[in-house]
Structure 1
Amino acid sequence: MATVNESNVCSICNKPSIKYFCIGCKQHFCPKDFKGHEQQLSIKFDNEIVRSHDELLDQIQKLEKSNDFSSDLFTQIEEWKKTTINKIEKAAEKAHHELIELIHKQRIKITKQLEIMTKEIRYRREENFLENDIVRLKQNLNKIQETLQQLFRKDTKKAIIVDNDQIDWNRLIYIREEQQNCEYIELEIEKNRNSKTSSSNIICHSIKLFHFIIISK
């Protein structure tokens, strides 16, 4: 912290018996006042550095035990969940009604075709018919029967209900860390405290700050 220098007066008591020079505040001190200066620096270090460090450490420890720090983010996720479920339920309800309408439409179509066939069959039975009439009517009945069976076949149900597997469920909502670079922190390490010499190494650390972003589609 200090170097020997007897050419100046003490910055506290103005006595000429100077032995110490503080390279931090650039002031000269006598042995007594230099000791007091060191004590003041020690108190200042404890109050401004150690206390702040301990408070940060306490907050980090609380962070490990509680999710209060991100309760707003959890709330946003739950709100998105409810909104998405509501949209899915509405989409499923819409598809349900569309399926009912489609089946009803097909039923009406088949019924009309069968009604036409019924009238012709009655007419032919009361009047007259030939071999080719039997063949034609049989073919038409088979077509109606095939259309009707398609409504009950399992593979047809897959054709009616369109299953969209292109949704990337992992990307509907996700958390991303947004990184920001902070200023460099200079860590001064005093090599030889006993020699009163402040020879130090400076170690720089790039501090990266993160905050969470919820991405939803």
Structure 2
Amino acid sequence: MATGNKSNLCLVCNKLPGVRVCIGCNKYFCPKDFREHEKQLAIKFDNEVVRSHDELLDQIQKLEKSNYLSSNLFAQIEQWKKITINKVERAAEKTHRQLIDLIDQKRTGITKQLELITKEVRSRREEETFVENDIDQLKQKIDKITQKLQKIIQKDKNQSIIVENNQIDWDRLIYVREIQEERDIEEEQQDSGKQINCEYFQPKFWKKKKMRPTVYGNPHCIQPS
């Protein structure tokens, strides 16, 4: 369709009438150049949209490999585990020695008491210097030590000496949380169309200039040196 209005001429050749209008750029094209324009749009779509989409999808799929994104953080966790195990083993060995020392201390005390009675018993028996009162007194001393020994044995059976520590919060001994910018939270609000309670998220998202996963260890519990 011919027209004398130059504003409706084809944008590309500027000769033929612009009988096709692109609703995206609102420009006029002749049929030939319009087809070329559509072709260029398809190329642009593939280069800028499809390619970016595929690259993003590939990156997301790589995240399925848990050690792809934060291999250094996984290494930190493994290092922390080794150090913590070593500290736990040393603490257990120390407590083991303490228990042995405690048992030996009680056993040594009773043994020393019995040694004195043993000397007296052997001396009186060899020399035959004992009467009824001596027998009663020695028997009382022996019974008294026997009672002490039975108390120790009974305490051990009743587990009155407890090897235990429930003060460690194993769920918080080491943990991971995300450090996120306030701007990222606002973007999540816009994407979800909902107002996020920032106070609720405060324990999880700290305002920093850079977002990164971070490994935390509880300072009140076992920490790697």
Q: Same fold per TM (> 0.5)?
A: yes
SS at 1:32 equivalent: helix
Q: Name the TM-score, length of structure 1 as normaliser.
A: 0.64
Aligned to 2:81: 81
Q: For 1:182 and 1:34, locate their aligned partners in 2 and report how far apart those are by CA, in whole Å.
A: 42
Q: For 1:66 and 1:73, locate their aligned partners in 2 and report how far apart those are by CA, in whole Å.
A: 11
Matched pairs, number: 191
Does the 8 Å CA contact 1:17/1:30 hold for their aligned counterparts?
Answer: yes
Q: For 2:46 and 2:9, locate their aligned partners in 1 and report how far apart those are by CA, in whole Å.
A: 29
TM-aligned CA deviation for residue 144 of structure 1 = 1.6
TM-aligned CA deviation for residue 62 of structure 1 = 4.1
Q: For 2:23 and 2:186, locate their aligned partners in 1 and report how far apart those are by CA, in whole Å.
A: 28
1:101-140 correspondence runs (5 A): 101-118=101-118, 121=121, 131=133, 134-140=135-141
SS at 1:160 equivalent: coil
TM-aligned CA deviation for residue 23 of structure 1 = 4.9
1:8-19 correspondence runs (5 A): 8-15=8-15, 17-19=17-19
TM-aligned CA deviation for residue 157 of structure 1 = 7.5
Structure 1 stretches of 5 or more lacking a match?
185-203
Deviates more, 1:70-79 or 1:150-159: 150-159
Aligned to 1:44: 44
SS at 1:73 equivalent: helix
Q: Deviations over 1:85-122 (max 9, x none)?
A: 11111011101211222122222221232234345556
Q: Cα–Cα, structure 1 residues 37 and 22, in superposed 2: closer, same or farther, change >3 Å? A: same
TM-aligned CA deviation for residue 78 of structure 1 = 1.9
Aligned to 1:189: none
Instruction: State the percentage of identical aligned residues.
Output: 58
Q: Cα–Cα, structure 1 residues 148 and 172, in superposed 2: closer, same or farther, change >3 Å? A: same
Letter in 2 for 1:41: L
Q: Cα–Cα, structure 1 residues 39 and 166, in superposed 2: closer, same or farther, change >3 Å? A: same
TM-aligned CA deviation for residue 77 of structure 1 = 2.6
Q: Cα–Cα, structure 1 residues 23 and 129, in superposed 2: closer, same or farther, change >3 Å? A: farther
SS at 2:159 equivalent: helix
Q: For 2:84 and 2:96, locate their aligned partners in 1 and report how far apart those are by CA, in whole Å.
A: 18
Q: Name the TM-score, length of structure 2 as normaliser.
A: 0.63
Structure 2 stretches of 5 or more lacking a match?
194-210, 219-225
Q: Deviations over 1:129-183 (max 9, x none)?
A: 553x544443332232233344445735833342224544444334446675474
Deviates more, 1:135-144 or 1:94-103: 135-144
Q: For 2:25 and 2:138, locate their aligned partners in 1 and report how far apart those are by CA, in whole Å.
A: 112
